[in-house]
Structure 1
């Protein structure tokens, strides 16, 4: 082979290699997931089917919402995530800061079937909510003297020293407290009615725990009857052999939105949009509900009666969902936690 031919051959080989590398990059996405059972369901319901359908590879970084958002901010000039998932409202801040790309609803084949609240600000960069952690009342269906039906029932003397509250350093605990505050006459500008209600409940024998495993311990060992918490945890308790059921409080159901978001400044947004579209499909959402008891946001998701009983399901189920403004919560979190700690220490 002449030197000229050799140079041409090597040049073509290099171009071919570069093209192959670019093609491989075009079929690879980097996302975050939340670890544990959630990540297992994420793989089963969305990631593996997406890879198989699109000849793609999905790289997972295990990172909860706050950590993932911190990484996204730190990587602002050279982001590593293509799609990022949040459960604490970080998409609102991320969109405002230009870290997330606006989404054209027309590019998502499943968007038309989402409930309006789940796609309220796609054009502003806030990705769609694909699952909801519904906060309501978990109760022991065998030992509780009656089934609770409202948030006001937390104050019912019948439950007294069999009531378990969760510390507001826990995200679900915060939402449960804000609902107790609301039915006690407070709002996001005034949490004192909720703190006064907590003082009364503790005086009647209620206890405060910090984590979900402690809730399970109270139900298993200390005859807990009622705990305001997320719908998926009633399922967790039943899997542990405990007779736990979930009910939405009649005054409303605080919702933790789990969103899937398109990151700005990445080269393969078309593939990322396909992943987001897969995530909001009725099949994927039904799978998540079956695996973890998260509420679907796609109106076409079909659930069995058993699964539907554990979640906010259908038009009637989701109309009671409410969302406390994540921006207000974040701005006041430290002050509220301090006031809470003083209240429960008395």
Structure 2
């Protein structure tokens, strides 16, 4: 009888403990993120899925362009849906000014010290952390012209053969800054740069808004030079034309994308874990290897064939003059008004 009782009780107790374990286990958590729409399949494979496996959580992804997503953050102020957002640095400045985001406790980021110095606190007060950056420079036809300075864009050979970014695009302020620098201006509002663009506007084939327009313009021999972000270079290179990325004496301009944590997020700890995972050397190298993001992690190593398509390496980093995001935030409305008066057809 003793053996029968023991045999009966053991499975019963085991079942009870199993039941208690199931009923007291913490439920799986969701982390909601707001990101750009590009390269989402690759992000899912290289970033989202590995993090979900690591954290036992689920990522809810809201994708779209930065202006639309920023508007949603503002509309949801006080009742945030998103925990972590990816924004251009100047949009993050706006978000901080509107009290839409909170400072980041960088002591919780084990990969923070691996970042380039300029990526650690790009908008001030630790409201954002830079995970990638890019150069804005000049692509040109080497069989038609030579480019050694930004001033060369104003040369007679490029009349009716030039494409420049519209002020409404992310590249517009970068163009203004480099024109300001090239022609000796020092106005934070880039008034010299604006005037110089106005001078050359009659010879500009397109003030483009989407970088994909440049592929067709080069292909049809409508343009011989264009100002664009480095992220467009892989697309343009596929044309198999005699094209090069210029190395002007003044250097290149550039911009940065940052991660921010929304004010009132209920998953701040999980957001910081995801942020740290994204900044890790391993993840940054995988994204760079597939030509998706130039690594903000200075320890990341990128093979030459991938690096050619990115803003990578000490020489490229040293050449970049980043436009201060607070200047873009302060000046953008005025730039648009002046552009419409002086430049827009």
Shorter-chain TM band: 0.7 to 0.9
SS at 1:278's partner residue? Answer: helix
Q: By how many angstroms is 1:325 displaced?
A: 2.7
**Alignment partner, residue 56 of structure 1:** 57
Residues 80-89 or 121-130, more deviating: 121-130
The total of aligned residue pairs comes to 327
Find the counterpart in structure 2 of residue 82 from structure 1: 83
SS at match of 1:135: strand
Alignment of 1:102-117 (within 5 A): 102-117=103-118
1:23 matched to 2:22? The reply is no
Specify every segment of 5 or more residues in structure 2 that has no aligned partner in the other structure, as ranges. Answer: 1-18
| Offset, 1:116 | 0.8
**TM-score, normalising length from structure 2?**
0.83
Query: Counterpart of 2:36?
Result: 34
Is residue 145 of structure 1 aligned with residue 141 of structure 2? no
What is the alpha-carbon root mean square deviation over aligned residues?
Answer: 2.8
CA distance in 1, matches of 2:79, 2:73: 9
Question: Per-residue displacement from partner, 1:173-221 (whole Å, max 9, x unpaired)?
Answer: 3322332133223344453422332233234565433322321221011
Is residue 133–residue 255 contact of structure 2 (8 Å, CA) maintained in 1?
A: yes
| Residue 195 of structure 1: aligned partner | 194
**Paired residue secondary structure (1:124):** coil
Over alpha carbons, which structure has the higher Rg?
2
Q: Is the 8 A contact 1:170 1:210 kept in 2?
A: yes
Cα distance in 2, alignment partners of residues 121 and 242 from structure 1: 37
Q: Which residue of 1 aligns with 2:310?
A: 311
Contact residue 104 and residue 122 of structure 1 kept, 8 A: no
Secondary structure of 1:185's aligned partner? coil
TM-aligned CA deviation for residue 75 of structure 1: 2.0
Distance in 1 between residues matched to 2:282 and 2:246, nearest whole Å: 25
> What is the TM-score normalised by the length of structure 1?
0.83
Distance in 2, matches of 1:61 and 1:135, equals: 27
Query: Is 1:282–2:286 an aligned residue pair?
Result: no
What is aligned with 1:320? 319
**What SS does the aligned partner of 1:208 have?**
strand
Aligned counterparts of 1:112 and 1:177: Cα–Cα separation in 2: 32
Q: Is the 8 A contact 1:293 1:310 kept in 2?
A: no
Q: CA deviation at 1:60?
A: 0.4
